Homo-oligomer: A and B are copies of this chain.
Amino acid sequence: MPLSAITLPDRAGYDRPMARWEPDAYGRIRLAALKLFEEQGYDNTTVAQIAEQAGLNRRTFFHHFADKREVVFPDMHRMDELIGTEIRAQPESTGPLHAAAAGFAAAAEEIFEHQRAAAAQRSRIVAASPELREREVAKGSALADTVAAALRDRGVAERAAAVSAWSAVAVFQLAIARWAGADTRHPLARLIRETLDEFLDATAPDR
Contact = CB atoms under 8 A, between A and B. Distances in A.
A124 to B, nearest CB: 19
A98 B166 contact: no
A157 B200 CA distance: 12
Interface residues of A, number: 39
Interface in A184-207: 195-196, 198-207
A78 B10 CA distance: 59
A48 interface: no
Contacts of A157: 198, 202
A95 interface: yes
A156 interface: yes
Interface in A58-97: 95-97
A160 to B, nearest CB: 3
